[in-house]
Amino acid sequence: MRKVPVLSNYAELFTCERCGNPLVAGIVTIVKDNANVISKCIKGHKKTIKLPMEDMIKWIDILTKHIYQCRCGEELTDLKMSTTGETTNLTLYCKTHKERPRKIATILWTAISNARAKMLEKELVIEEDSETPPPPPQKQAPIVKEPIPSTPKINQETVISPSLPEKEDLETHKSRICPTCGETLPEDATKFCPYCGMEL
């Protein structure tokens, strides 16, 4: 009975056995029940990887990742795509190495395209989460009790100043005193002070 590789082993298949660098999937064809992937690492070491079609759900994301990766490690973006018969020709773009060609069996292209769309969607969600950090937990502001204003205490020893006489009393008081000698005038004094003789 044939052993079916598990998911982690599929990922390990895309590592160069000679130098340990990641392999880039350049050409993917269908041969019998396998997807044959012709790959190459940054040092130019070539390797053909056979992926069983019955396990496509387990390796499609890994294959897609290595199709959209440049040998320099940069993630590639779509530039052009055309289908001719059983082959889909992709032209991907690297910021450093410019156009990077890929040849994919058309029968696999739909699955690869869907896997790529899911990857981009996940990246977009991660970017949005990283751009908007969660708000800090809100601490309830401590309740500050305002002090009740105290009524000022009246000092029992407060000296009460004598009230000044009203205006009328002052005028009346002035008219009874001679402005010159200061003597109290009698009520009948009208024009002259009886003490100093000065005119009032």
Please, what is the angle between helix 106-131 and helix 56-67, to 10°? 70
Examine the pLDDT at 131 and tell me if it is beyond 70: no
What are the residues facing 66 on neighbouring strands? none
Distance CA 175, CA 198 (A): 14
120-125 average pLDDT score: 86
pLDDT at position 7, please?
47
pLDDT at position 170, please?
45
Distance CA 131, CA 109 (A): 33
- Give the whole-number percent of the chain exceeding pLDDT 90: 52
- Identify the residue with better confidence: 69 or 193: 69
**Residue 196 to residues 67, 72, 173, 181, Cα–Cα distance (Å):** 131, 126, 19, 7
What are the residues facing 184 on neighbouring strands? 177
Largest CA distance in the chain: 153
pLDDT at position 184, please?
81
pLDDT at position 144, please?
61
Question: Distance from first CA to last CA of the chain, Å, rounded?
Answer: 146
Would you list the domain boundaries of the chain?
Answer: 7-127, 167-200
- Identify the residue with better confidence: 179 or 10: 10
pLDDT at position 79, please?
93
pLDDT at position 179, please?
79
pLDDT at position 168, please?
46
Lowest mean pLDDT, pick from 8-17, 82-91, 130-139: 130-139
138-166 average pLDDT score: 56
* Phi and psi, residue 91, nearest 5°: -120, 110
Distance CA 68, CA 117 (A): 12
Distance CA 190, CA 199 (A): 9
Reading the block at residue 183, the tokens are 């003597």
pLDDT band at 5 (very low <50, low <70, confident <90, very high): very low
Distance CA 47, CA 15 (A): 9
Examine the pLDDT at 32 and tell me if it is beyond 70: yes
54-67 average pLDDT score: 96
CB 108 within 8 A of CB 116: no
pLDDT at position 2, please?
46
> 83: which residues sit within 8 A by CB, 6+ positions away?
89, 106, 109
**Residue 37 to residues 76, 79, 134, 188, 197, Cα–Cα distance (Å):** 18, 21, 43, 140, 141
